[in-house]
Structure 1
C-alpha cells in the first residue's frame, strides 16, 4: 500500500482538516524529506490553496480546526497547530493553541516553518546573492565544501542540493542531502537555482 492509499484509508477519503470529500491531495509537512503517515496528511483543494497561499486565507473556513486539532494523528495535529498560529491575531485561535500539547521533538517540528512567529520575528534565509530561500528549494554550491562524517568527502562547486530544509532558528544554516549524506550548509555558500541576482 502506498502513502496515498494509506492516507485515504486513515482519513476515510475525506480532508483531514475540514472533512470535505472532493478533490483530495496528499501533502507532505515541511521540512520533512520523507513520506510517512507521521509527516503527510490528506487535504482538500480549499485547505491546500490557503496553506500554500496565505493571502487567500478565509478565517471562517478554519473554524474546522476546533475538531481536527484533536485528531489522534500527529501530522494532522501539527498542521492544525500551524494554521491556528497563522490565524492567532483573530483571537479565538489562541484559546485553541493554549489547549494543545506536543512532546518536545514534535513541537520543534511544528515550529520549523515559523508559522508561530509574527512577521517581524521570522528568520529570513538568503543565499549568497540575497535571494530568499524557502523549504523545498534547490540550491547550487558556489564553492567546494569539505563534508565531515559520512565518508569524509568534498562537495564540489556546482553541485545541486534539492529539497532543502531551513534551520528555523538560524538564518545562516540550511540542511540538505549531498551524495546521500544529510549535511548542514551555510547560506553564504549557495545560490538559489534560477533565482535572479539581487542588485
Structure 2
C-alpha cells in the first residue's frame, strides 16, 4: 500500500480503526474487488479485523460491535465493509436500515458474502433464529384447524421443519398430528 494512501486514511479517520475505533495495529485494507489503492477504495482497520475479513471462519461477533456506528460512516469503503460484515453476521435488521445506491450495493455484494442475505430467516417469539431440527414450546393455546383439537400452551414440538417460502411458518408434530405453526406462537428451547 502506498504511504500517501495510508497517511490520507489516518487523516480521514483520526488514526483509529474505521470500524472498531481502536488505535492499535492499524493496516490499510483494500476493499475487493477494487484494485487501485486509493483512499476511495480502502479503509484503515485493525489487523485483527482484517484477518477476520480474510478468514471468515475466524469471525468473532464481539470484535464487530463497532458496526452499528461504522455503517453510518460518510466514507463509502467503510460502509461497504460494514454492510458485508452485517451480512456475514446475519444482522438482517441492520442491513435493512442501511442504504446503498445501486453501484455501492453491487460493490458490497461482489464478494458473494451476501448470498445468504436473501435467505428467509425464521425467528421465534423472542427473536431467536430457528433452524430445521430445533425444538420449540408453544406459548399459547392454538386451535388446530381441520384436526378438532387444541394444541396446549407449553406443548413441546421436536424436530421442527422450516417452511422455506414463509418466515412465519414452521411444521411439526403435536399430539401425533402434523401441523403448521406460526413462529410468533413458539419459543425455542435450548
Q: TM-score range by the shorter chain?
A: 0.5 to 0.7
Question: 2:89 matched to which residue of 1?
Answer: 87
Residue 16 of structure 1: SS of its match in structure 2?
coil
Q: Larger Cα Rg: Structure 1 or Structure 2?
A: 2
Residue 38 of structure 1: SS of its match in structure 2?
helix
Offset at residue 118 of structure 1 (A): 2.9
Residue 42 of structure 1: SS of its match in structure 2?
strand
Question: 2:102 matched to which residue of 1?
Answer: 104
CA deviations over 1:156-196 (Å, ceiling 9, x no partner): xxxxxxxxxxxxxxxxxxxxxxxxxxxxxxxxxxxxxxxxx
Residue 2 of structure 1: SS of its match in structure 2?
helix
Offset at residue 62 of structure 1 (A): 1.2
Alignment match of 1:39 (pick from 24, 38, 41)? 41
Q: Distance in 1 between matches of 2:75 and 2:48?
A: 21
Structure 1: gaps of 5 or more residues? 122-199
Q: Distance in 2 between matches of 1:36 and 1:45?
A: 19
Question: What do you get for the CA RMSD once the two structures are aligned?
Answer: 1.6
Question: 1:115 matched to which residue of 2?
Answer: 113
TM-score, structure 1 as length reference: 0.56
TM-score, structure 2 as length reference: 0.58
Q: Distance in 1 between matches of 2:99 and 2:28?
A: 25
Q: Distance in 2 between matches of 1:2 and 1:59?
A: 32
| Aligned residue pairs, count | 116
